[in-house]
Structure 1
């Protein structure tokens, strides 16, 4: 089969199209014929050798995909050959930048009618992360003001819609006027261009937008120095949810910025959550139903052929994209 493989860690240039043996589904596994694979920052970390569970090269990146079931292993009874499905975290480290991939059956979810596979490929990481953080951890309600950082990213644009859909007031932060305007189109009530309000000015503007009391929920998708600002931007009894550190920098914080406010700091990491028993299928089914019904809109910005994975990573790391980048692996 065709695949994009990493033979050594490095920049986007190490993503090399190649031919590799077809994988075979074992007991409890599904063989997926991949139609589309989502491109995520986790993939870039795998490629660079900075992902916590990627293993050593050679390896095939890609943590989410959608396609058609080609075969099922022994013991799989709830998934059938020919079904359209989306999948999270393949077996082979993790392996979705390929025409075929093996996935544990418990991480495969049927795609409903009305949802394109290109959109479905964008749900298992960014959308599931935003959904879990806002609905299960922060428990967002219509009475909340929610700050979403990096609101023009895949997670951010999902979070804006999910929070707004729950009736919350949404303040979307992004790094340019174009990106903030784009985020507003997904239901943000207020926007903040962080390039024009860097550092302390960001905190001051968030406090101004929230009448001085701070946000009920801050979804920190950035990490590094941004996390310290998130603690200052949350209000009394609020919740800061930390789900990433794309800055790849330490966070320097002052505990006095949050404990006097009785604020909660909540961490989220999808892989670790699954290791400790979380079954993502019901949440993915709910997300898929809502997207298929038109309640949410998945902004797939760029679709590139599998062989051009390098260009996809270059675009991702320049942060040029608004919404999701997807690899088109093969026809349905």
Structure 2
């Protein structure tokens, strides 16, 4: 089969098209014929060799996909060959930058009608992460104020919509005027250009927009120094959800920024959640059904063929993309 493989860690240039043996569905696995694969920040970290579970080359990256069932391994029930599915990698199987992938059945979900494969390929990582953080961890409710950082990213645009649909007032933070305006199209009540409100000015702007009180929920998708600001932007009794450190820098905090306010600091990491027993299928199914019903828009900015995985990673790492990047695999 055709695949894109990492032969050595490095920049986008190490993503090499290759012909590799077809995988076989083992016991408990579903063989997925991939039609589209989402491109995520974690893929770039795996490629660079700095992801916490990157393994050793050669590696096939890709943590999410949509396609059809090609074969079923021993003991697998609930699926039919030819059925449209979404799949989530993340623990022990090869990635989805390939025509075929053998995936544990516990990470494969039937795709409802009304969601095309390109949209579906973006749901299992960024959208599911935003959904779990806001709906399950932070328990966002009507009337809450929610700050979403990096709101023009894949997770960010999902989070703005999920929070707004729950009845929250959303303050979207993004790194340029253009990105802030774009994020505002998805239901944010207020947008903040963090290139104009950097560091402490960001905190002051959030506090101004909340009447000095702070937000009930801050979704920190940035990490590093931004995490300390997130604590100061949260209201008494609020929740800060941390799900990334794309800043790739330490987070130094002053405990006086959170314990006097009785804050809850909640961590989320998709892979480790699965390792410790979480079944993603019910949440992913509910999320996909809401997309099919038109509750959310799934913005896909760039669609490229599998052979152009290098260009997809270059676009991702430029930080200029708005919405998701997807590789098409079938055909």
**What TM-score, normalized by structure 2, do the two folds share?**
0.99
Structure 1 residue 278: deviation in Å?
A: 0.6
Aligned-partner SS, 1:226: helix
Map of 1:148-297 to 2, 5 A cutoff? Answer: 148-297=148-297
Q: Is the 8 A contact 1:90 1:102 kept in 2?
A: no
1:65 is paired with a residue whose SS is: strand
Alpha-carbon contact 1:306-1:329 (below 8 Å) kept: yes
Residue 60 of structure 1 contacts residue 93 of structure 1 at CA under 8 Å; is this kept in 2? no
Residues 262 and 91 (structure 1 numbering): CA distance in 2 closer, same or farther, change over 3 Å?
closer
| CA–CA separation in structure 2 for the residues paired with 1:123 and 1:213 | 33
The aligned counterpart of 2:73 is: 73
Give 1:309 shift: 0.4
Computed over aligned residues only, the root mean square deviation of the Cα atoms, in angstroms, reads 0.9
Question: Given that residues 173 and 191 in structure 2 are in contact (C-alpha distance below 8 angstroms), is that contact kept between their aligned partners in structure 1?
Answer: yes
Shift of 1:80: 1.1
Asked whether the equivalents of residues 90 and 96 of structure 1 are also in contact (C-alpha less than 8 Å), the reply is no
CA distance in 2, matches of 1:189, 1:232: 20
Match of 1:15 in 2: 15
C-alpha separation in 1, matches of 2:92 and 2:284: 22
Q: Structure 1, residues 92-149: CA drift from partner, whole Å, max 9, x if none?
A: 6541000011100010000011110100000000000000000000000012100000
Q: How does 1:31-110 map to 2 (within 5 A)?
A: 31-89=31-89, 93-110=93-110
Consecutive aligned runs of 4 or more in structure 1 exceeding 4 Å deviation: 90-93
**Aligned partners of 1:172 and 1:120: how far apart in 2?**
24
Secondary structure of 1:161's counterpart equals helix
Structure 1 CA distance, aligned partners of 2:313 and 2:300?
Answer: 15
List aligned pairs for 1:301-316, cutoff 5 A: 301-316=301-316
Once the two structures are overlaid, the 10-residue window that deviates more, 88-97 or 36-45, is: 88-97
* CA distance in structure 2 between the aligned counterparts of 1:94 and 1:278, rounded to whole angstroms: 20
- Other structure's SS at 2:186 match: coil
Please state whether the residue corresponding to 2:143 is helix, strand or coil: coil
Residues 91 and 275, structure 2, Cα contact 8 Å, conserved in 1: no
**2 CA distance for matches of 1:101 and 1:309?**
17
Encode CA deviations 1:10-61: one digit per residue, 9 max, x unaligned.
0000000111010000000010100000000000010000111121000100
Contact map agreement 1:60 1:92 (CA 8 A) in 2: no
Kept after mapping to 1: 8 A contact 2:36/2:65:
yes
Secondary structure (helix, strand or coil) at the match of 1:26 reads coil
SS at match of 1:131: helix
Q: For 2:136 and 2:257, locate their aligned partners in 1 and report how far apart those are by CA, in whole Å.
A: 24
Distance in 2 (alpha carbons) for counterparts of 1:77 and 1:236: 48
Helix, strand or coil at the partner of 2:21: coil
Question: Any idea what the Cα deviations from partners look like across 1:48-87, whole Å, max 9, x if unmatched?
Answer: 0011112100010000000011001000011111000000
In structure 2, the residue corresponding to 1:51 is in which secondary structure? coil
Residue 86 of structure 1 contacts residue 120 of structure 1 at CA under 8 Å; is this kept in 2?
yes
Aligned-pair distance for 1:90?
6.1
* Secondary structure in 1 matching 2:17: strand
Instruction: Give the aligned length.
Output: 331
CA distance in 1 between counterparts of 2:105 and 2:319 reads 33
Counterpart CA distance in 2 for 1:190 and 1:177 is 13
